[in-house]
Structure 1
Amino acid sequence: MTDPRVQLERIGPVALLALGAIAVDAGVRAALLASLDALDGDPRIGAVVLVTPAAGDAPTGADLGEEDAPALADLCSAIEGFARPVVAALAGCASGAVAELALAAHFRLAPPGPCLCFPGIATGTLEGGGATQRLPRIAGAEIALRLLLGGEPIEAGTAQAVGLLDGVVQGDVIEAALSLAERLAEAAVAPRPARDRGEGLADVAAYKAAVDAARGAGGGTAFARIIECVEAALVLPFQAGLGFERAVAEALHTAPEAVALRHVVAAEARFAGAPLDANNGIETVTLVGGGGSVAALGVSLLEAGFRVAVIASGNDGDVLSRIGATLSADLAAGRISEAERRDRLARLTSGIAQEGDSPDLVVRFASPDRRVPRLPVWADQTISATVVPPEDPAATVESASGADIRIVLTENFRAGCMVELVPAAAAPPDRLAAVATVFRGLGAWTFVQARTGRSLAGLLTDRFRSAADHLLEDGALPADVDAALEAEGYAIGPYRMLDREGLSAAFHARGAGAATRDPRDRYVALLDQLYLAGRTGQAAGQGFYDYPDGIPEGLASKTVEQFLHGTRREAGIAARPITPAEILERCLLALIHAGFTALSEGVAQSPDTVDLAAIYGLGFPRSLGGPMFQADRMGLQSVRQRFLHLARSEDARFWAVPPLLEDLVGRGAGLGDLAPAA
């Protein structure tokens, strides 16, 4: 069988087998196997060079569903069992199934840089080609588990040091592989299959210690099953180990966790596909405000090459010190060099620039009590933006002049966090695009809002926290809610998060909304009472938890329990037992409810947007796929029935069925039938 993506050329005693496709699908596998069969019967061939292409970034999960095609495991076994040496020439970083093929070869050469990557953990899957058996036999359990559980590529120099590469080639890697293959053929060197290697198994104690350490680190189902496969490599014969891995790979491929993770990866790929405006004209950024959030953004901007000025406000004059301390810590940890530290400091200044020297972008930070620093007078071309909490971003800056864009952060800035841009009505689209490009370039998941003035992160956060507050009033404790959610995979529970960020922002947001709050809405006053009693969060040593010295995670507080007793008494509610299952269901349904509201009001462009915002803004578990993914999995009719039940038994207003959900159920439609928002 032929396939244009697989090219075969005979060069003297060497066969050059070039793979021109990143995706090792059924056609490619069949063509590779047919080529190997043809070469096996050719007595003139003494060695084979297998050229693998550089891989893409997005893992898609193992392709195990094509029953009439040769399986990846069978193809890898054919490469490994080939009667003459097979040299893999890695043209770039071999990833996923391509890395499995390279690992099945007898020798491997690669240029400097990343060379092998096994990203299946991102989708909760295994490729099933035998990597869990070959990697530990060559390099030991620690390296194998680091690659398989981390999903990050290994550098060529490190790979050579641990035996996964036989050479790092500075020049043409294909020419080097051809030269090696020719020498092997002329010397009639026997193949060196990974199945017969055992250097990685030699230190049994170290092997078992690495397995135990990985198991103790936790993780989901895929983590546990991959660890089992690597452990099996030590105790099972090679073929039995391959069979064990194949069974695990097939089970993982259809597991709910893997289905959810594939959904997230696909949603991320679609979200990240929007082009960046590389020529946005922003080179200088002025930050106005104080505290850790200002410093965190400053560090990231300096790392990306921007010139940064800091204008401290209030009593938070330590921003520059925080930035300096972070750069020194990065230097000590080897993340940057001394030259890089000095370069970043050279691009950092304090105070207002000289008259007439306006920055390209000025970002000011609203204080927890919703006060916004005043801006100096700059040129008209300066883009102004204000960092605000997710609760009602429009209200936070409604009295601030010249704010083009509101930047909603749910945590201190870091690469990989959620950044939501909520433009003012008159914000020019080119300025919005320019700011979006800056934050995407910093590695943030940047959501650009439609001109609703509302925040998706705010909608999700408000509904989520309200549902949690209702659970407290019904009988749960803050530690009960946090523990249940964190055990499910949430990054952090809502009350631990409130303590970490401080209760001030939430308290002032609730106060600002008091005038428009419908008296019929259920309102739990516990947070207000704690704040007014001086329990303002972790920095104060007490909030929803107590924080004795040396216990940064906090302890459950008897004082908070007493406040809760009073809250329930005033509301006329008798506490009842609240199970972890009820906590999980009501918090999930609250997010689903908020998602439908966001979709109907144009605050979210698609269900995917809601899912990613929940994952990156609220720490929703990736392994659950997002609240709207869960709604689809549950069935919209079932979701509607749960809302109706909660409306009857808990709170008719809070759990009223969203009109969009009623419409979809009435039409027999699903979330996939929604037209993308403009």
Structure 2
Amino acid sequence: MSTRTVSLRQDGDIAVVTVNNPPVNTITAAVRADLRQALEQIRAISGIKAVLLRCDGSTFFSGADIGEFSGPPREEEYRELFNGWENLPIPVVVAMHGTVMGGGLEIALAGHYRVAAPGTRFGMPEVTLGIIPGAGGTQRMPRLIGVEKALDFILSARPVDTSQAQTIGFLDAVIDGDLQAGAIEYTRDLLAAGRGPRRTGEMAVDAATATAEIIARMKDEARKKYPNRNAGLVAVEAVSASAQLSLKDGLELETRLVNGCKQTDESRGAVYAFFAERETRRIPGLADASSRPIKSAAVIGAGTMGSGIAICFANAGIPVTLLDSTQEALDRGLKGLDKTYAGLVQRGRLTVEEKAQRLGLIRGSLAYEDLRDADVIIEAVFENMDLKRKIFSTLDKLAKPGAVLATNTSTLDIDVIAAATSRPEDVIGMHFFSPANVMPLLEVVRTAKTSPGTIRTVMDLSKPLRKTPVLAKVCYGFIGNRMMEGYAREAERIVLEGATPRQVDTALEEWGMAMGILSVFDMAGIDVGVNVHTANASQYPPDPTYYQADFALHEAGRLGQKTGKGYYRYEAGNRTRFDDPDAIAILRARAAKLGIEQRQHTSQEIVERCLYPLLNEGIRILEEGVALRASDVDVVWIAGYGFPRYRGGPLLYADTITLERLRDGILKYQKQFGPMHWQPAALLDQLVREGKTIAQWQAERT
């Protein structure tokens, strides 16, 4: 029997069911229908003594179809299908390979025996999407491994390998060599040993793994790991219920709970972010553009950013030349590279051999001549227009025809940089985020003359570099840093008004930001922000208090973590933030000099004053066409600035709280502080008048 996605053949008395739904064997509606048909076919065949379920392609089932999340509930359909496989009267062996996630692992749990190829990875990441495993995972997994281990696995949301899966207890064997042949042999051995079905649903949960103490600890873990979110606590409720309920009742409870999760802002935001990240690569007008092969790269500037970019290329297996102007700076950069890789080895993320291989792809140089053959050259020196134009003028003369000439500038006008060359069509912005070898965001900034081929090349290059690319047009700060201006401006103004750095950062972190903005400044270096604002003074309004907290600390030699003192105090080798009365005294003195009145601040005011300008500027960026889509703006802040993923990004969050509330909040602070910084975007006013959301406005233009 063969259907569109499922084939059934017999290997003697074993029915071999093979699923082929490229690219990653998602459990779509069509796959489910074909699996039901295969199940009926097996029931009708006489003489079948066992079933082997497997997948063709690069992976076993990668998971459920996330595209169905916004539609009608499908959990009952999954429950009936998986129960059908579990209730077969003959052994069902599941053979897995690749990346087995979510629903893919849940169908395996409905089988009777589970085997896998070496290198297979398993996970249940549902809580990161604001839901819980909804196809039996919260009920079958604890029956196999106990409540405590099941919750550890589900709440961590981290994939495990075959060795860990065997230790945890849900994987029976690892099959070396040909997986299908080995799995058939494993199945024959089961039959020879007289082994019949071993139904997970008929197993009893070990009560010792579900004590009140364990459940309380798991609830604490869920609150700690997922602040402001509920899915982790719902997972605890569902999994712990498996110790008291039959499989039938437990699955029905799981269905009710997961469908309730899907209605939350948490789930909508996380699912939205998932699709938004996929959408960033869809660029209108590039259908006919050809991508150039990138076989070698060069980075100019061996500082923190340049070295991090070099690591990205080496990790992708692309040879890269790292250039600097002095041997001292180059040596310092190369030493930093070695230290970064040594840390990965120490943490068990790389082998010594892999470290040597990657370092071998990075060559240091002091000569521009060594860049002649590079397919892409990225300039990553400090923010100085004259220096960058000089570098691009040099590259124009020596880089080979068709080489991508990229700048990592975070604020400067790339059109002006491109004008220093005779080939502006090859010039583009590739704005990495620090640390470049860790942060997933890559702002790809097109100039007025950047060719479609250059854009396509960089968008494609982002895949091996493991970056999430977002296309932007040239403007001051592009998308992310332009939105950062108002966000950071208010945080600095608030500490001048009397709030402590700790109070500001705590309010933002409790709301959901990965790190408070003042802590970010300390980490990045207060001098970095001061240099940018000094170089771009003409871009800012005539406000004598503008970013003066940074300037006051900078003048006192407090540059952040690098000097052990910034908004906070730090101890050598320790990034822990310690409150520092000296910093507060410096800020109070600057406030007195500027005539800023001291006052009390609530957490709500801090969050509103920091976030509302950020949301407002994002709407302006959308209105001006700097970003293609609202979702692109959201991805920038999720992937590059620590905006909470479960809130979906700034513009989805604006729709969530309502645009009217945002507009009214801006007007409230306008009355308090004046219109210089508090003016609703024209598009925001328009949408409030028309009663529309950003999503509706975007849909009308798609």
Shorter-chain TM-score range:
0.7 to 0.9
SS at match of 1:326: helix
**What residue number does 1:108 align with?**
114
Cα distance in structure 1, aligned partners of 2:641 and 2:544: 24
User: Does residue 300 of structure 1 match 2:300?
Assistant: no
CA deviation map 1:149-191 (0-9, x unaligned): 3445443454345442333344654555556556656876432
Is the 1:46–1:85 contact (alpha carbons within 8 Å) kept by the matching residues of 2? yes
The unaligned stretches of length 5 or more in structure 2 are none
User: Does residue 312 of structure 1 match 2:332?
Assistant: no
Question: Residue 45 of structure 1: CA displacement?
Answer: 4.7
SS at match of 2:93: strand
Cα distance in structure 1, aligned partners of 2:209 and 2:155: 21
User: Does residue 190 of structure 1 match 2:208?
Assistant: no
**What residue number does 1:484 align with?**
507
Kindly tell me: are residues 74 and 571 of structure 1, through their superposed partners in 2, closer, same or farther at Cα, counting changes over 3 Å? farther
User: Does residue 378 of structure 1 match 2:398?
Assistant: yes
CA deviation map 1:602-661 (0-9, x unaligned): 211110011011112221000111111012223333333333333223332322121122
Cα distance in structure 1, aligned partners of 2:663 and 2:220: 44
SS at match of 2:363: strand
Is the 2:312–2:465 contact (alpha carbons within 8 Å) kept by the matching residues of 1? yes
Equivalent position to 2:349, from 335, 341, 345: 335
Count of residues in correspondence between the two structures: 676
- Of the structure 1 ranges 650-659 and 229-238, higher mean CA displacement relative to structure 2 is found in 229-238
What letter matches 1:529 in structure 2? A
**What residue number does 2:380 align with?**
365
Question: Residue 399 of structure 1: CA displacement?
Answer: 9.8
Cα distance in structure 2, aligned partners of 1:303 and 1:398: 29
Equivalent position to 1:499, from 516, 519, 522: 522
**What residue number does 1:619 align with?**
642
- Of the structure 1 ranges 13-22 and 559-568, higher mean CA displacement relative to structure 2 is found in 13-22
SS at match of 1:492: coil
What letter matches 1:288 in structure 2? I
Question: Residue 265 of structure 1: CA displacement?
Answer: 0.6
Equivalent position to 1:658, from 655, 658, 681: 681
Question: Residue 471 of structure 1: CA displacement?
Answer: 3.0
Is the 2:310–2:320 contact (alpha carbons within 8 Å) kept by the matching residues of 1? yes
**What residue number does 1:674 align with?**
698
SS at match of 1:148: helix
CA deviation map 1:568-591 (0-9, x unaligned): 445544333211122222322222
Cα distance in structure 2, aligned partners of 1:26 and 1:362: 46
Equivalent position to 2:408, from 372, 383, 387: 387
Identical pairs, percent: 25
- The aligned runs of 1:463-478 (5 Å cut-off) are 463-478=486-501
CA RMSD of aligned residues (A): 4.0
Is the 1:30–1:70 contact (alpha carbons within 8 Å) kept by the matching residues of 2? no
Cα distance in structure 2, aligned partners of 1:35 and 1:395: 60
Cα distance in structure 1, aligned partners of 2:548 and 2:121: 56
Kindly tell me: are residues 466 and 520 of structure 1, through their superposed partners in 2, closer, same or farther at Cα, counting changes over 3 Å? closer
**What residue number does 1:349 align with?**
363
Cα distance in structure 1, aligned partners of 2:418 and 2:31: 59
- The aligned runs of 1:21-420 (5 Å cut-off) are 22-24=25-27, 29=32, 32=35, 36=39, 44-52=47-55, 54-56=60-62, 60=66, 66=72, 70-90=76-96, 93-114=99-120, 116-140=122-146, 144-145=150-151, 147-170=153-176, 173-174=179-180, 177=183, 189-197=195-203, 208=214, 211=218, 214-215=221-222, 218-219=225-226, 220-233=229-242, 241-272=250-281, 280-313=292-325, 316-317=329-330, 318-352=332-366, 355=369, 358-360=372-374, 361-367=376-382, 372=387, 375=391, 378-381=398-401, 382-388=403-409, 390-394=410-414, 404-420=427-443
- Of the structure 1 ranges 301-310 and 71-80, higher mean CA displacement relative to structure 2 is found in 71-80
Cα distance in structure 2, aligned partners of 1:85 and 1:557: 66
SS at match of 1:286: strand
Q: TM-score, normalised by structure 2?
A: 0.83
Equivalent position to 1:434, from 445, 452, 457: 457
Is the 2:495–2:549 contact (alpha carbons within 8 Å) kept by the matching residues of 1? no
Cα distance in structure 2, aligned partners of 1:340 and 1:11: 42
Equivalent position to 1:646, from 626, 644, 669: 669
SS at match of 1:335: coil
SS at match of 2:254: helix
What letter matches 2:464 in structure 1? G
Kindly tell me: are residues 224 and 240 of structure 1, through their superposed partners in 2, closer, same or farther at Cα, counting changes over 3 Å? same
Cα distance in structure 1, aligned partners of 2:154 and 2:290: 34
Is the 2:205–2:243 contact (alpha carbons within 8 Å) kept by the matching residues of 1? no
Kindly tell me: are residues 561 and 357 of structure 1, through their superposed partners in 2, closer, same or farther at Cα, counting changes over 3 Å? closer
Cα distance in structure 1, aligned partners of 2:367 and 2:243: 64
Is the 1:392–1:455 contact (alpha carbons within 8 Å) kept by the matching residues of 2? no
Cα distance in structure 2, aligned partners of 1:463 and 1:677: 28
Cα distance in structure 1, aligned partners of 2:353 and 2:74: 57
Is the 1:58–1:265 contact (alpha carbons within 8 Å) kept by the matching residues of 2? no
Question: Residue 234 of structure 1: CA displacement?
Answer: 5.2
Is the 1:456–1:603 contact (alpha carbons within 8 Å) kept by the matching residues of 2? yes
Cα distance in structure 1, aligned partners of 2:429 and 2:700: 24
Cα distance in structure 2, aligned partners of 1:620 and 1:357: 37
Is the 1:503–1:536 contact (alpha carbons within 8 Å) kept by the matching residues of 2? yes
CA deviation map 1:127-164 (0-9, x unaligned): 32221232233245675345423445443454345442
CA deviation map 1:482-540 (0-9, x unaligned): 11111222111111001111111211222233345432686352211221121222211
Kindly tell me: are residues 391 and 482 of structure 1, through their superposed partners in 2, closer, same or farther at Cα, counting changes over 3 Å? farther
Question: Residue 556 of structure 1: CA displacement?
Answer: 2.3
- Of the structure 1 ranges 209-218 and 353-362, higher mean CA displacement relative to structure 2 is found in 209-218
Question: Residue 100 of structure 1: CA displacement?
Answer: 1.2
CA deviation map 1:40-85 (0-9, x unaligned): 6877554344445633589728759646984423433343333332
SS at match of 1:149: helix
What letter matches 2:255 in structure 1? R
What letter matches 2:278 in structure 1? A
Equivalent position to 1:593, from 612, 616, 628: 616
Cα distance in structure 1, aligned partners of 2:237 and 2:494: 38
**What residue number does 2:659 align with?**
636
Equivalent position to 1:581, from 597, 604, 608: 604
What letter matches 2:270 in structure 1? L
Cα distance in structure 1, aligned partners of 2:348 and 2:387: 37
**What residue number does 1:547 align with?**
570
Is the 2:498–2:588 contact (alpha carbons within 8 Å) kept by the matching residues of 1? no
CA deviation map 1:102-137 (0-9, x unaligned): 111111233333254323233121232221232233
Cα distance in structure 1, aligned partners of 2:465 and 2:75: 43
Is the 2:301–2:323 contact (alpha carbons within 8 Å) kept by the matching residues of 1? yes
Cα distance in structure 2, aligned partners of 1:395 and 1:565: 41
